[in-house]
Amino acid sequence: MLSVAYVVMKTAQEMLDFYIDAEVAVLSGQTVRIGDRQLTRADLTEIRSGRKEWQAAVLRAGAVAGRRARWANADFGGVT
């Protein structure tokens, strides 16, 4: 069974990758200038804003997963 933290991390990472790809596409020529007119296929500011949100989500999910993975409580029934 997959943990909730894993699913959240996987989804956040997939979205971050999507936003990074979109940012690269815009930076590599999604704007065309013809004379004094300019056509932009995507809004770089919005893409960067979304990327930053998902980047923060990945960091948060990683921090939560990391905290849970570092230790576990065990009860050995009084055995020392």
Other C-beta atoms lying within 10 Å of the C-beta of residue 52: 12
Query: Are residues 28 and 7 in contact, defined by beta-carbon separation less than 8 angstroms?
Result: no
Residue 51 has pLDDT above 70, yes or no: yes
Specify the range with the lowest mean pLDDT, choosing from 34-38, 62-66, 68-72: 68-72
pLDDT of residue 4: 76
Query: Are residues 5 and 65 in contact, defined by beta-carbon separation less than 8 angstroms?
Result: yes
- Which residues does 16 contact at the CB level (< 8 Å), separation at least 6? 51, 54, 55, 57, 58
Question: Is 0.85 topped by the overall pTM?
Answer: no
